[in-house]
Amino acid sequence: MSEKIYDVPAEWASRAFVDDAKYRQMYERSVTDPTGFWAEHAKRVDWIKAPTKIDNWSFAPGNVSIKWFEDGVLNAAYNCIDRHLDKRGDQVAIIWEGDDPSQSRSITYRELHDEVCKFANILRNRNVGKGDRVTIYLPMIPEAAFAMLACARIGAIHSVVFAGFSPDSLAGRINDCNSKIVITADEGLRGGRKVPLKANVDAALKKCEGVDWVMVVKRTGAAVEMDDVRDFWYHEAAEVVTTECPVEHMHAEDPLFILYTSGSTGQPKGVLHTTGGYLVFASMTHQYVFDYHDGDIYWCTADVGWVTGHSYILYGPLANGATTLMFEGVPNYPTNSRFWEVIDKHKVNIFYTAPTAIRALMQAGDEPVKKTSRKSLRLLGSVGEPINPEAWEWYHRVVGEDRCPIVDTWWQTETGGILITPLPGATKLKPGSATRPFFGVVPEILDPEGNVLEGECTGNLCLARSWPGQMRTVYGDHARFEQTYFSAYKGKYFTGDGCRRDTDGFYWITGRVDDVINVSGHRMGTAEVESSLVAHPKVSEAAVVGYPHDIKGQGIYAYVTLMAGEEPTEELRKELVAWVRKDIGPIASPDLIQFAPGLPKTRSGKIMRRILRKIAEDEPSSLGDTSTLADPAVVDDLVEHRQNKH
């Protein structure tokens, strides 16, 4: 852990919305009078009918229910677009930067209004309305934003599926929420490489009965097959609709979107977010954490396929009338200077990215950074995984030239918005620490027996109270919601993360303590990779764990036992990697596969993952007690043939 402390720069303390004294005062109020606090801050969004009931939630076992602003009525798209038109109709809402550096586009709030209305009318013409589910499988193009906001406008529930997922993964997500329409593009374009999105949808839909429509956005112009009845082109449909579309009146607790995320067991679950609380929380955190002021140019490099893209490319910034940059490409294409060149090209002031990108760029050295100006930069952000102090220091010193604070923001798909973070005008920084809770957030650290630990301590991170951006349920499976998040520690939301609190009361997230791994900031359930591997005809058993990886944070380490008579060859190893890649998507490809004649099991047949993790981490000397294993000898073989030997 780094001992270094960076004080709040004087000009930040005076200019920011919140300095340290104000943080303490607002935080105090948010936890002593949450109803009053959130009643006041709910006013930041425009309500068709203002809420009078503010908070109504219970984490009680068997009775988990979360409602915020429940009698309020509003529309999220109205808040992100229409309410800005008078004052900032001509201001740029979205700057789109293409994969190819010669392509970019600026969309004003007025243009955004017209595009979203057209998109919404196309959907309405296909009988898509309030409560219907719409699956969006698009690259990072403006139409992804139009599609999401169009759904919000008409009260449809969007489910964005990251365009890197395989046809099978897409099919599972379409079926789970019964989408009747899928929105995609002919192809995606990332780092100069084409991704066959329409073909992937065609393959997925062989497994989906309920899809009536596929809307296709032309991105690359590639020839794609179009089904006469089911498929239609967006650009053709857009020619015959108007640029006016009245907004649907939504109750605060009406669903806004579903987003699938991996857990420690089974299939990905549909995290459900609702309208009022989510929007209040996303916009408020965006304003305070990034200290967003009118006129700032703000860039979050995430993909809209992840929650970061939902809350901090789209909903938070647009609800605040911000200018938000949407980037189609990757950090190292055409060169390792790309991020910094985009910052110079669009005069970006606030830049928010993931540690994995920082580590990868750090490896390319300082020169690709230093040859750019970055004078416009004022604030840097980090999200998605723990940031190691070396990467933090490099980001601060080389990218930010020692003048830009870094907000290391901890949160999850489930939390809807940032929960633990510095505020740039208020919080001193410690490299590697997400520092202090946001307003209304009450973190608790518990030991495995469920005792709440006080003062300096290490344990499992829970949240004692609800906050407006919290997920409301797992779509279609409330019992799973309760089981996953509220059963480990009764009456509390369990995050799945380990955490340390230091003597200053600062929080340090240590990573997942469950069977979820975080690969390049992407969440992956080890169980998902295992079930993919065992579906291969030559595999009899598989166990997957994470191991430390210099760039990705964690890599995927798979132990595979083959069917009797199968040979463990290099070729088979490659075949298995390709198999998982095709089955789930490239982000799930195992980095290392060890062929294991046997796995360490207890006498009752339970795999001892603790041992597998230690071997994968190349720490064979700290395996702990192996005497309870059914066959302790398997461990010797695993240690001898470990793949991560240094």
Contacting residues toward ligand PRX, per CB under 6 A: 261, 307-308, 382-386, 408-413, 434, 495-497, 509, 511-512, 518, 523
427 among the known binding-site residues?
Answer: no
Of residues 255 and 381, the one with the C-beta less far from ligand PRX: 381
The packing angle between helices 570-583 and 526-534, to 10°, is 120
Q: What is the DSSP string of 282-312?
A: HHHHHHHHTT--TT-EEEE---TTSHHHIII
503: helix, strand or coil: coil
Q: What is the DSSP string of 193-213?
A: EEE-HHHHHHHHHTT-S---E
Task: Encode 424-439: b = buried (16+ Cβ within 10 Å), e = exposed.
Answer: bbbbbbbbbbbbbbbb
DSSP 460: E
Residue 427, C-beta contacts closer than 8 angstroms, at least 6 positions apart: 8, 20, 23, 435, 436
Cβ 393 to ligand PRX shortest distance, Å: 16
Instruction: Specify whether the CB–CB gap between 226 and 216 falls below 8 A.
Output: yes
610 among the known binding-site residues?
Answer: no
Cβ 207 to ligand PRX shortest distance, Å: 25
Q: How far is Cα of residue 512 from the mean position of the Cα atoms in its chain?
A: 15
Query: Which two structure tokens, joined as six digits, stand for 396?
Result: 């601060």
Which residue of this chain has its Cβ atom nearest to ligand PRX in the complex?
A: 413
Of residues 497 and 583, the one with the C-beta less far from ligand PRX: 497
30 among the known binding-site residues?
Answer: no
Cβ 181 to ligand PRX shortest distance, Å: 26
Cα 453 to Cα 61, 435, 495, 500, 563: the distances in Å are 21, 18, 16, 10, 47
Half-sphere exposure of 469 (CA within 13 A, CB side): 30
Cβ 204 to ligand PRX shortest distance, Å: 22
Of residues 493 and 559, the one with the C-beta less far from ligand PRX: 493
Of residues 522 and 601, the one with the C-beta less far from ligand PRX: 522
Of residues 308 and 349, the one with the C-beta less far from ligand PRX: 308
Of residues 1 and 60, the one with the C-beta less far from ligand PRX: 1
DSSP 8: P
126 among the known binding-site residues?
Answer: no
Cβ 557 to ligand PRX shortest distance, Å: 18
131 among the known binding-site residues?
Answer: no
328 among the known binding-site residues?
Answer: no
Instruction: Specify whether the CB–CB gap between 116 and 156 falls below 8 A.
Output: no
Q: How far apart are CA 272 and CA 475, in angstroms?
A: 6
Cβ 347 to ligand PRX shortest distance, Å: 26
Cβ 411 to ligand PRX shortest distance, Å: 4
> Measured at the alpha carbon of residue 373, what is the angle toward residues 368 and 378, in degrees to the nearest 5?
110
Query: Which two structure tokens, joined as six digits, stand for 281?
Result: 């929380």
Of residues 54 and 434, the one with the C-beta less far from ligand PRX: 434
Cβ 367 to ligand PRX shortest distance, Å: 28
Q: How far apart are CA 175 and CA 527, in angstroms?
A: 20
Of residues 383 and 634, the one with the C-beta less far from ligand PRX: 383
531 among the known binding-site residues?
Answer: no
534 among the known binding-site residues?
Answer: yes
450 among the known binding-site residues?
Answer: no
Rounded to 10 degrees, what is the CA torsion of 480, 316, 405, 104? 120
Q: How far apart are CA 309 and CA 246, in angstroms?
A: 26
Cβ 420 to ligand PRX shortest distance, Å: 8
321 among the known binding-site residues?
Answer: no
470 among the known binding-site residues?
Answer: no
Cβ 172 to ligand PRX shortest distance, Å: 18
Q: How far apart are CA 561 and CA 140, in angstroms?
A: 39
Handedness of CA 349, 354, 358, 360 (dihedral sign): negative
Of residues 343 and 509, the one with the C-beta less far from ligand PRX: 509
Per the DSSP assignment, residues forming a β-bridge with 183 are 136, 215
386 among the known binding-site residues?
Answer: yes
Residue of 11, 2, 12 whose CA lies nearest to 427: 12
71 among the known binding-site residues?
Answer: no
Of residues 172 and 355, the one with the C-beta less far from ligand PRX: 355
Q: How far apart are CA 332 and CA 364, in angstroms?
A: 10
536 among the known binding-site residues?
Answer: yes
581 among the known binding-site residues?
Answer: yes
Cβ 449 to ligand PRX shortest distance, Å: 22
DSSP 315: I
Q: How far apart are CA 561 and CA 599, in angstroms?
A: 8
Cβ 510 to ligand PRX shortest distance, Å: 8
Query: Which two structure tokens, joined as six digits, stand for 99?
Result: 């994969």
Q: How far apart are CA 497 and CA 509, in angstroms?
A: 7
Of residues 92 and 391, the one with the C-beta less far from ligand PRX: 391
Of residues 18 and 289, the one with the C-beta less far from ligand PRX: 289
Query: Which two structure tokens, joined as six digits, stand for 180?
Result: 């009747």
Annotated binding site: 190-193, 308, 332, 384-386, 408-413, 497, 512, 520, 523, 534, 536, 539, 581
Binding positions for CoA: 190-193, 308, 332, 520, 581
Binding annotation for ATP: 384-386, 408-413, 497, 512, 523
Q: Binding site for Mg(2+), residues? A: 534, 536, 539
